[in-house]
Amino acid sequence: MLNVGGSLPEVSFGIIKDGELINPHTNALFGDKKVVVFGVPGAFTPTCSEAHLPGYVALADKLKARGVDEIMCVSVNDAFVMDAWKKASNADEIIMLADGNAVFTKNIGLDMDTGTFGGTRSLRYSMLVEDGIVTQLNVEDPGRFDVSDAQTMLDSL
């Protein structure tokens, strides 16, 4: 599993930008920036949609006021689902990163097998990444939502 002080793996993500699918790589997204990233098991799932994403939407301005350049959400979904979730959640301040084949999630060791629920998904987590290096990592135990929320991240900055 990825640890504090570790580098993010160089992979590509799917993002819908101006109605078009683009595939930026890790370095383009995280290089020379201070980024809050949070990972969720799935777009439109209950805790993700009712608490995790809304918390980051509500506190986006406060996180950015503390020096955060970008806030990004990662899920093992396709870019079109992530874009629809962004629109449905009024999450304009959040960059939605689609990790459709779980390449990123597996490379950082934060994947889980949910069986018939959806196969390989992400554990719930948050991290602070500075110039591609993880400086803070909060990983939830399965089924929990205690340490990866936006308020915990804001309090730690």
Please report whether residue 2 resides in a domain: no
What is the pTM (predicted TM-score) of this model? 0.96
Instruction: Give the residue among 44, 34, 49, 53 at the shortest CA–CA distance from 94.
Output: 53
Question: What range does the domain containing 100 cover?
Answer: 15-156
Please report whether residue 53 resides in a domain: yes
Query: For residues 104 and 115, what is the distance between their CA atoms, to the nearest angstrom?
Result: 19
Please report whether residue 5 resides in a domain: no
Please report whether residue 50 resides in a domain: yes
Please report, for the domain that includes residue 93, its CATH number: 3.40.30.10
Query: For residues 107 and 149, what is the distance between their CA atoms, to the nearest angstrom?
Result: 23
Q: How many domains, the chain?
A: 1
Please report whether residue 6 resides in a domain: no
Per-residue pLDDT of the chain (157 residues; tens, 9 = 90+): 899 999 999 999 999 999 999 999 999 999 999 999 999 999 999 999 999 999 999 999 999 999 999 999 999 999 999 999 999 999 999 999 999 999 999 999 999 988 887 789 999 999 999 999 999 999 999 889 999 999 999 999 9
Please report whether residue 21 resides in a domain: yes
Please report whether residue 9 resides in a domain: no
Residues designated catalytic: 48
